[in-house]
Structure 1
Amino acid sequence: MSGTAEIYDAVLTPGKIDLLRAWIREQSWFDGDPDRLEQVTSYRFVDPDGQVGMESFLLTDGARTFHVPVTYRGEELPGAEGALVGTVDHSVLGPRWVYDAPADPVYVAEVRRVIGHRDTAADHLAVEDGTITPAPVNIRGGGSGSATDPGSAPQILRVISEENDAEADCPLIGSPGTLSGTWHDADGSHTAVLVVVD
């Protein structure tokens, strides 16, 4: 298991969804109305060094589901200006720089580890009262397979498809080199591949 992510009862300015909407409208993989985007759920990984927050959002515009992993840092990530989603003020932790996660080496290393070790997402620890709850997305790594090449970058599947057909050029859920997730919303249960490492 990927450890326990500390969750603070904090106010963020701007809010996470407002920040993501502003960034997503500029992304080539998004062609909808960002103002319609709402959070379905999210899951987290934990930095072994305790410095970088990692949260992956599942958002919907009412018709499609989008996968948007980000990292949170207490200072700027050198050389990653083009991957900056924006900055927020966290009422407990102070200023946070938010990055598109595939550009952050801490996220890349952790998603590789989770996939290679067939691991899961982190549980959530409410810092204020010590309550621990399981991750709201059932994440599972598919094993290393060919995903051990440190030179290959993780492919984040941004527009989520629940198709699971190799003949349709869709990665098989749970197959080696993949990160799959199962979550629930008002329409029921959904399972899809979220990340692929070639």
Structure 2
Amino acid sequence: MALLYQATVRPSKLELLSGWLPGRPWYSGPAGKMRHVASFRFDDPAGAVGMETILVRVGDGPVHQMPLTYREAPLPGADAWLLGTAEHSVLGMRWIYDGVGDPVYAAALAGAIINGTGQAEKLVQVDGRLVRREPDMSVLGGGAEAVVLPAVREIERVTEDDPTVIVTDTVELVVVRRLDVGVELADVVLRGAWPGQETPAPLASARIR
């Protein structure tokens, strides 16, 4: 379950991405104001880290996949993945990271792919009630709940390319950044569909080391 708040965030996620994404070595679109295409969330069992994967584009440029994590304090050793900080009107200061450098995101992604857990249900607080928000995209892993997934404790290295490779102590993950180039992934694959992309496209893959 992903609990969302009716809140303001300054600067907004799209403002941070508009300044940060064009400087990445794998980004292939024009510079400019990012617009939201679709998104999905994972759930942190500990309830400490927010996780949201946003699909964005500039104008009619290519769609890029950007996983984000939201933390209440800096993640030690992850300065290279920090987009910036933002003030959340309910939760206070948030440190916002590219999720590929965050072990909590790596663990959630591995579970979604290998155990087929998919995305978290979105619930919004409205007048003291929790209201379900319909997802604007669907994601589905290719694994099964019966597979025993070893715990992800740390990230050993990240190869920042397209696709981006995340090597953890137990699982190797591959995350596609640009989603319109027809990348084929091996191992167990997470696929997603969104308005304008009705045929599920590969988003990421995973294999147990």
Contact 1:108 1:153 in 2 (8 A): no
The letter for the 2-side match of 1:41 is: A
Percentage of matched positions with identical amino acids: 32
Which 4+ runs in 1 deviate beyond 3 A?
A: 147-153
Q: Which residue of 2 aligns with 1:183?
A: 194
Q: Which residue of 2 aligns with 1:71?
A: 69
Asked if 1:193 is matched to 2:202, the reply is yes
The CA distance in 2 between the partners of 1:109 and 1:188, in whole Å, is 27
How does 1:46-195 map onto structure 2 within 5 Å? 46-61=43-58, 62-128=60-126, 129-143=129-143, 150-161=169-180, 163=182, 170-171=184-185, 176-184=187-195, 187=196, 189-195=198-204
Residue 7 (structure 2) aligned to one of 7, 10, 13: 10
Give how far 1:190 is off.
4.6
TM-score (norm 1): 0.85
Structure 1: stretches of 5+ with no match in the other structure: 164-168
Contact 2:56 2:64 in 1 (8 A): yes
Q: Which residue of 2 aligns with 1:166?
A: none
CA RMSD of aligned residues (A): 2.1
Structure 2: stretches of 5+ with no match in the other structure: 151-167
Describe the SS at the equivalent of 2:200. strand
The letter for the 1-side match of 2:130 is: G
Number of matched pairs: 184
Higher fraction of strand: 2
Give how far 1:188 is off.
5.9
Give how far 1:134 is off.
3.6
TM-score (norm 2): 0.80
Contact 2:29 2:61 in 1 (8 A): no
Residue 24 (structure 1) aligned to one of 21, 24, 27: 21
The CA distance in 1 between the partners of 2:184 and 2:24, in whole Å, is 22
Residues 77 and 134 of structure 1, relative CA distance in 2, 3 Å threshold? same
